[in-house]
Each structure stands twice: as structure tokens, then as C-alpha cells.
A and B are shown apart, each in its own frame.
Chain A
Amino acid sequence: AQSVAQPEDQVNVAEGNPLTVKCTYSVSGNPYLFWYVQYPNRGLQFLLKYITGDNLVKGSYGFEAEFNKSQTSFHLKKPSALVSDSALYFCAVRDDNYGQNFVFGPGTRLSVLP
């Protein structure tokens, strides 16, 4: 079965600095990978996805992620963090060998300090 790991519970970064939120996955088939963000008392919002094609995927609010098949990773990045980026970030994967089951990682709380 597929699984997702987000090795950091918390990431702190200063405003204006680049940020990285890490995600690694395990699937038996081809991965469909997603990043979502959750602000307090809100539902999850879609940021970006990788299905196929270019390994570097660009998404909403200046975020991007790089699919690395050899390292089974899909890290979320942003060149210059904003205080408003502070939120809970979830990586998710669907394994095309397992139908429609989506698995979400445990989440990483990002704090951008002014």
C-alpha cells in the first residue's frame, strides 16, 4: 500500500528566506502527488500536483515542488517566504495500483517569522 512521510513536524523560516517542506512517498505503481495547505479553522486548499511530465511543478502562491523518482521525494519549495505562508502543509499520494485511495502525510506546520 502507498504511504507518505513528512519528516518534519515543524519548519521555521525567516521572512524573505527560501523555504522547503519535505515529503517522501512509497508506492508500488506510478505516483500521483499533491500538496495542500490548511489555514486555521479552514479546509485544505490545493497548491499543486504532479501526475506526469516535468519534474518541477509550479503551483499557487509562488510555490513549486520537485518530483524526484530516485529519491521518492516531492519537496515543496518557495524562493522567498511570507509571514502569510504560515500554515499546515500536507503532502498526499495516490498509487495508480491501488485505485482511488488517497493517503495524506501527517502534515508539517510552517512558521514564517517576521
Chain B
Amino acid sequence: DSGVTQTPKHLITATGQRVTLRCSPRSGDLSVYWYQQSLDQGLQFLIQYYNGEERAKGNILERFSAQQFPDLHSELNLSSLELGDSALYFCASSPQQDYEQYFGPGTRLTVT
């Protein structure tokens, strides 16, 4: 158990809908990262927050957004969902920006 929690574990929704994925980092970790893992694209870095501020953006679509709250938990919002958004979404946290990341168990999103 990494200490990073993600909810929900599974999510099934229809195209065009909007969902919110939640992540609680390890106690004391200031940095949160979001990744998308799909069979055809591998593990893609989406976005990083550090102590509430956005620090890096990867291959994140405009339909996706995220934020990190004062209590350091983070939410990833996915809107106007498409079939191709079906994937595993991982959150990871680290104490500082150059440290190793600890991954949560992931949220499996299925868009039908």
C-alpha cells in the first residue's frame, strides 16, 4: 500500500458526460501527479500540482482539468467524454518535486 488513495476504483459512464476523479496523496506529500494509462498509448503524464499550484502540464486535453485543494487532495475533471478516454487514471504523489513518486491504485474509467 503506497498510502495514495484514489476514488472511485471503477467508473462507467456514457459519452458526453462529465466525471470527477479524486486523489488523496500520502501524508506530507506536497506534489501530486496525474497520469493516463491506455493500451495503445502507454503511461501518459497529464498534469502536476505542487502545494496547490500547477507546476507542469503534459498531454492533457482541454476537456480535462485538475486542481489541488488546500488540504492537498486533488481532483481530475474529465468532460465531454469520448470512447477514447476509457483508460486507467493514476494519481501519484511525492514529498518534493525531484523525489520518486508513489502511485495510487488507479481509477478505471469506461466510457460507453
Contacts and interface: CB of A to CB of B under 8 A. Distances in A.
A20 to B, nearest CB: 21
Contacts, number: 53
Q: Chain A contact residues: over half helix, strand or loop, or mixed? A: strand
B-side interface mostly: strand
Interface of B: 2, 4, 33, 35, 42-45, 48, 50, 55-58, 90, 92, 97-98, 100-106
Interface of A: 32, 34, 36, 42-46, 49, 51, 90, 94, 99-107
29 contacts: A34-B100, A36-B103, A42-B105, A43-B2, A43-B4, A43-B92, A43-B103, A44-B43, A44-B101, A44-B103, A45-B2, A45-B103, A46-B101, A46-B102, A90-B43, A94-B98, A99-B55, A100-B48, A100-B56, A100-B97, A101-B45, A101-B48, A101-B56, A102-B45, A102-B101, A104-B42, A104-B44, A105-B42, A106-B42
